[in-house]
Amino acid sequence: MDSAHLENDLVNVLFTQEQIQERLGEMAQQIAADYEGKDLLMVGVLRGAVMVMADLSRALPRHCEMDWMAISSYGSGTKSSGVVRILKDLDTDITGRHVLIVDEIIDTGLTLSWLVNSLGSRGPASVEIATLLRKPEALSMPVEPKYVGWDIPNEFVVGYGLDYHEKYRNLRDIGTLAPHVYS
């Protein structure tokens, strides 16, 4: 879906599809260099990270294994509930593996802080984070991603996997959702 199809749902477009692809390509080159000669397992956080994981992995100039987890700290609103739940766990044993968690956004940091600790307790060689977006003003938990596409303001954004009530995920761009949509 193109942002032109949304009429007044977006306040503005933060990043176009082209900008997103370019940035993911840059991140993939850095990841490939950092993990050269290492057994890399990319762990995508469902559902939002599907677009990021797909495009980031395709931009990698090397083989990598992928697995998925579904965790949530959101209820039905636009703010974190503060409670993390596992909805789908990994199918892969991560003992001795270099794990790269791939997510679309770091908001409060609660979910990813919990996930890093949880995966770290399973005996991996390393656990790092790659995220397309980070909201530094919203962070309430210490989370240090190794790879960040962009820092953004503390606004409600949608597109490229980011949703509001499961809508807007298929938007090619990332934009700020107009308050009248979620108020």
What's the CATH code of the domain at 140? 3.40.50.2020
Non-local CB neighbours of 92 within 8 Å, separated by 6+ positions: 41, 65, 67
Mean pLDDT of the chain: 92
Q: Report yes or no on 163 lying in a domain.
A: no
Beta strand pairing call for 174-177 and 10-15? antiparallel
Enclosing domain of residue 23: 18-155
Q: Is residue 12 part of a domain?
A: no
On whether residue 31 sits in a domain, the answer given is yes
Is position 41 within any domain?
yes
| Band of pLDDT at residue 84, cut at 50, 70 and 90 | confident
Within the chain, how many helices (H) and strands (E) appear?
4, 9
Active site residue 107: yes
Q: How many folded domains does the chain comprise?
A: 1
Lowest model confidence (mean pLDDT) among 24-38, 44-58, 64-78, 122-136:
64-78
pTM: 0.92
- Bridge partners of 103, per DSSP, are 131
Q: What per-residue confidence (pLDDT) applies to 149?
A: 98
Within a domain: 7? no
Instruction: Pick the catalytic residue from 107, 151, 163, 173.
Output: 107
Domain assignment of residue 38, yes or no: yes
Predicted pLDDT at 169: 95
Tokens for 161, please give them. 């996997």
pLDDT at 7 over 90: no
Selection from 163, 59, 27 nearest residue 105 by Cα: 163
Place of tokens 């692809």: 21
Q: Is residue 183 part of a domain?
A: no
| Per-residue pLDDT at 85 | 83
165 inside domain: no
pLDDT at 80 (0 to 100): 55
The per-residue pLDDT for 77 is 52
Mean pLDDT of the region 52-57: 98
What the block records as the tokens of 72 is 């949530």
